Amino acid sequence: MNSTILRTGSRVLLPLFLIASVLILLRGHNEPGGGFIGGLMAVIAVALHAIAAGPEAARAALRVEPLTIAGIGLLCAVAAGFWGIAAGGDFLTGVWPLLTTTPEGDKAGLPVGSVLLFDTGVYLTVLGAVSAILFALEDAVYAEGDD
Amino acid sequence: MPRVLTFLPAVLSALAALWFLGFASPVADGETLTWSRVWIEGLGIEVAFLIDGLALTFALMVTGIGALIFLYTAVYFKGHAKLPRLLVLLSLFAVSMLGLVLADDAITLFVFWELTTITSFLLVGFDHEKADARGKALQALIVTGLGGLALLAGLILLGFEAGTFRLSEINAMGGLTTAALYVPIVVLVLLGAFTKSAQFPFHFWLPGAMAAPTPVSAYLHSATMVKAGVYLVARLSPALGGTDLWIWSLTLFGAVTMIWASVLALKQIDLKLMLAYTTVMGLGALMMFLGGESRYATAAAATFLVVHALYKAALFLTVGLIDKGTGTRDVTRLGGLARAMPITMMIASIAALSMAGFPPLIGFIGKELKYEGALAVATEPLLVATAALLANAMMVACAGLVAVAPFWGKRGDTPKTPGDVSVWLWIGPAVLAALGLWFGLMPDTLARVVVNPVVDSIAPGTKDVELKLWHGINVPFLLSLATFALGIVLYRGRAEIRAALNRPGFGGMPAADVFEALLAAFKRFAAWTARTVQGGRMSVYLRVAFAMLALLVWGAHLVSPAETLPPPGQVALIPLAVTGLILAAGFVVLVTNSRLYGLTALGIVGAAIALIFVFFSAIDVAITQLLVEMLVVIILAVALVKLPAMPFQRHFRAGDALIATALGIGVAFVVAAVLTRPFDARITEFYEAASLPDAFGRNVVNVILVDFRALDTLGEVAVVLVAAIAAVAALTAGRKSRRGEGGE
């Protein structure tokens, strides 16, 4: 699609969307959001860029092959599972290495650990997988295309 | 593989045989040995083994004959690239067969039963480059595999009816013949036994299995595996036997199999195929005598079991020697080999004399016992005796075809110049044939170690059966004389008989043809289903999926209808308006002629559903719904460019309308019905209470997704990735990848 307005706008919107998607990923534990929603948000940013500047430009912006991103995401999720085993629990048991127990028996510190790694994995898988489908579809359309 | 290793299976098998021989004395004194270990506790299933007379006899056959056959195989296929594979498969089979005959738990028995089916499949299809071998292997697998399924069902019913899966306990309890499920149990168990032991009308797979290498045929399809059905019938006859159903099924199927297989055997010109049919005949005879219900009939079966295994394995191996020595197994091309292959001739003659039932071989005693048993059977002594007489006479003729025709008379025209083979090849069949002679001269050993213990396992009683060469001139002896006379007449007229049997239109393999026709029909049905359900068009897939869903939903309604519908509650104005929006947008989708309008209207439906989620405070679900909706619109918009314009005139599709209406109303009913049930909030309360203290998150939905039920999410994420890979593969198929041009 050849639209100057869209192209110019997407250049500003793309980083904003991506930042928002990461924010949604991070806030998900306490507020609406999470890896799945964040990943979808990122895909929409990529899709917008692909429409505005063409799939090649969107691919270049991602820098990494989308299916590779998805694969890394799945690896992250699996790694989070094994982290749980390594910490002495079952597969996928949550581990929060930055938490400490206060003398009163409460927990203090930053609740960041295997669960966030898992959610990041979900985020990357959704981002990579849906982007891959989108690019492949656009390739298929434009390859035979008369654009 | 070092050559010496190829003899390892033979050595191990021989050692096992000696070990089992050690049990002979205690078992003959009436002891049984058991061993068991709990396997699946909740279901009462054990790995249980038992050694009694029946099990020991089979174990000795499996290991003893096995040792000789392994030796033969190692020499027969010396230097063959696939010899290690053959030996490994044969050893696996031997272990499976051993497990089968020693099992004292119905499920243990079934597992080993299936293992023999699978190893047999691999062995029949050993020459897997040949389409014929593959086809025959598959045929054997399908027939015996279907029988195995029936057997599994039968054994499970038996276990439920008896309250235990221990075969020895089931046999000891009695009274099963009056149980409610007795008839289905017998039918299913006999289906398993008849398919495995190649009884009419399932007999056709066994000659087909001759596609296997000769040692395999000798071992599996003659001496051991095909007797598994016989073993099963013998093992279960204390529990299931004694009724008219049991006796008549075994007698009739056994007799028909015996006669029909003998006739077909006379028809063959390939010696190996002929032996295969005589094996089917032997199996029929065993079944028939097991249905005899007297100790004499059972003793006839037990004796013939051993007799048959000895002479048949020996003859199969001899045919292998003839094949190796001359390059052919065609009986019409063989002749006058006695001078060139004297040792083979000797072995073949002794084994064949046993098969024909001449004194002083064990075969003679076996045949006398058969007549004695036939006259003692519970149902129809005359029918059984006549059938046995006819079949035995044809066996005499077949024995002549194997042991006389190839070795005497005019020198045949063979591909290779005949000559005897190495000692290691003929030692196996020689030992088997010699055993037949030895048992004939010393029948008391066989009676004490094998026959009476087996009879005690099957038909308990006190009077021991005596095996004697000379009984005096009595009815069985006269029948024997008649057998020889008739057999010799048949042998002399062999060419005419074969010509008559091979007349076009006679016999053939109707059972195999029926099987192939059924299989072809099944394949056509499968193809039709695939074409109909997996039509390759999106509209077909959707139609099938939604129609099935509608059926399910309505089925649930009709099976357990909701008692009451919830009272109509107050619905606020805004949700009502949103619902109206959904309806209006849906209507646009239905009637529009523009894909763009349709797409936009679908987007509105999705967004409005997201709004409804918001009304019920499901913010996460709403956000997800909205984002997915946006993506769907984007992706469809990309595809839209390439889609052809909508047909101008859209016709009304009544079938689709019906499916849509049925599904919509059905789902509405389900939702309404669900609301009438009291809501169980325990799970919700648990998550709400545990989310923050245990998982340090206040968003319960997300905590469930990434922590409490993270394994589910992991599975879903994996599915997303797999779906993406599949979609990319489908979209780039047949097209040059554009990755190289753009990207990095």
Summarize the confidence of residues B305-313 as an average pLDDT.
Answer: 90
Amino acid making up residue B169: E
- Under-70 pLDDT residues of chain A: 1-2, 105, 143-147
Summarize the confidence of residues B89-99 as an average pLDDT.
Answer: 94
Judged by CB atoms closer than 8 Å, whether chains meet at B742 and A56 is answered as: yes
Q: Does B735 touch chain A if contact means CB atoms closer than 8 Å?
A: yes
Q: How confident is the model at residue B233 (pLDDT cuts 50, 70, 90)?
A: very high
Q: Does B725 touch chain A if contact means CB atoms closer than 8 Å?
A: yes
pLDDT at B524: 93
What residues are paired with B718 via a beta bridge?
none
SS3 for B666-678 is HHHHHHHHHHHCC
Residues of chain A in contact with residue B714, where contact means CB-CB under 8 angstroms, are 77-78, 81, 92, 118
- At B399-429, the pLDDT tens digits run 888 888 888 877 777 777 777 777 888 888 9
Q: Give dist(CA B291, CA B295) in Å, integer.
A: 11
Residue B664 CA to its chain's centroid (Å): 45
Q: Give dist(CA B468, CA B445) in Å, integer.
A: 11
Residue A89: CA count within 13 A, CB half-sphere: 14
Summarize the confidence of residues B457-474 as an average pLDDT.
Answer: 73
pLDDT at B653 over 70: yes
Q: Does B695 touch chain A if contact means CB atoms closer than 8 Å?
A: yes
> Could you give the ipTM of this predicted complex?
0.91
- At B578-617, the pLDDT tens digits run 999 999 999 998 888 788 888 889 899 999 999 999 988 8
Helices within chain A (DSSP H only)? 4-27, 35-53, 55-62, 66-86, 114-143
B139 versus B677: which is more confidently predicted? B139
pLDDT at B744: 34
Q: Give dist(CA B268, CA B508) in Å, integer.
A: 11
In chain A, domain spans: 4-143
Q: Please report, to the nearest 10 degrees, the dihedral formed by the alpha carbons of residues A81, A84, A86, A87 taken in order.
A: 170
pLDDT at B739 over 50: no
Judged by CB atoms closer than 8 Å, whether chains meet at A34 and B735 is answered as: no
- Among A139, A142, A144, A146, the strongest candidate for a mutation testing the B interface, having the largest count of B CBs within 10 A, is A139
pLDDT at B742: 41
In chain B, domain spans: 291-503, 509-534, 536-699
pLDDT at B741: 44
pLDDT at B508 over 70: no
CB B724 within 8 A of CB A128: yes
In this prediction, what percent of chain B has a pLDDT beyond 70? 95
Overall fold of domain B536-699: Four Helix Bundle (Hemerythrin (Met), subunit A) (1.20.120)
Q: Give dist(CA B168, CA B36) in Å, integer.
A: 12
pLDDT at A120: 94
Specify the 3-state DSSP secondary structure of B45: strand
Specify the 3-state DSSP secondary structure of B166: strand
Q: Give dist(CA A122, CA B711) in Å, integer.
A: 12
pLDDT at A147: 43
Q: Does A61 touch chain B if contact means CB atoms closer than 8 Å?
A: no
Q: Please report, to the nearest 10 degrees, the dihedral formed by the alpha carbons of residues B385, B388, B392, B394 taken in order.
A: 110
Contacts 24+ apart (CB under 8 A), B591-597: B593/B646, B593/B648, B593/B650, B594/B646, B595/B640, B595/B643, B595/B645, B595/B646, B596/B640
pLDDT at B243: 87
Q: How confident is the model at residue B649 (pLDDT cuts 50, 70, 90)?
A: low
